[in-house]
A = this chain, B = another copy of it.
Amino acid sequence: MIVAMSRYDPSAFPPFAVTVDLVVLTVREHALCALLVKRGEAPFQGYWALPGGFVRPDEGLAEAASRELAEETGLRAHSTPGQATAGAHLEQLATYGHPQRDPRMRVVSVAYLVLAPDLPTPRPGGDASSARWAPVGELLGKTPSDGVPLAFDHGQILADGVERARSKIEYSSLATAFCPPEFTVGELRRVYEAVWGVVLDPRNFHRKVTGTPGFLLPSGGTTTRQGGRPAQLFTAGGATVLNPPMLRPES
């Protein structure tokens, strides 16, 4: 409905706090991992949580997410498609606003999803007491009694972010955001395997990704850093959508 002008009087409305929370995903040692920080204050003191913080009065939502990401990891993210630089991918995930999700006051949190290549160090920057990369397999798919859950509704946010990542690499070239600027087909395949938690046939995968126009650009070089026969190096091509998509194996 169209609200009356008087309703815009700030004093007439209890204030909402608006925050951003980040689901930062990367692939480390064949496992999909999420960045967690340890909370230093109540509530949920000592619990692990997603990084995040308040949106400042004069900044946009994506801007706030990007700033928090830089504060936590030093990563420079951008949401522009077809990135060929070393930055991470950032996109809005969803917004969480259950009235009691924060016991102190009404907080509406806009969650962002970040896909980043493997970072050298977990670097607990900012004012979080500590930070770590946690394999999402150990955080998800467990009963709430297994281990300590995440603070607030961050377990749900993380689950939504992981599902978004899993489905989005099906029909987009976003999986390259997990890779360094130059990568091999095998490295890209291991990304898919880690994110989906499956094993893919190397030959069919190779045929699929090299046969999709614009997905991969040969950079000319080769590498043997994975052992075995030298593999061709590629960079991400300009294509952002995969048509036809590469669907996850069922079951």
Contact = CB atoms under 8 A, between A and B. Distances in A.
Q: Report the 9 A-B pairs with minimum CB-CB distance, sorted nearest first.
A: A15-B15, A1-B126, A61-B97, A95-B95, A16-B18, A14-B57, A1-B53, A2-B128, A10-B15
Interface in A1-33: 1-5, 7-8, 10, 13-18
A54 B5 contact: no
Contact of A99 (B4, B8, B37, B59): B59
Given A13-B17, A16-B16, A128-B1, A7 B247 contact: no
Contacts of A13: 15, 17, 54, 57
A18 B247 contact: no
Interface in A124-182: 126-129
Task: Classify chain A: how many residues form its interface, as a range.
Answer: 35 or more
A16 B17 contact: yes
A247 B247 contact: no
Contact of A108 (B14, B40, B72, B108): B108
Contacts of A119: none
A24 to B, nearest CB: 13
A203 interface: no
A58 interface: yes
Interface string A206-230: 0000000000000000000000000
Given A15-B10, A247-B244, A110 B95 contact: yes
A106 B55 CA distance: 11
A15 B37 CA distance: 27
Contacts of A1: 37, 51-53, 68, 71-72, 126-128
B18 A127 contact: no
A58 B106 CA distance: 9
A198 interface: no
A41 B1 CA distance: 12
Given A10-B105, A57-B99, 7 more contacts: A2-B39, A2-B128, A2-B129, A16-B108, A55-B108, A60-B97, A97-B110
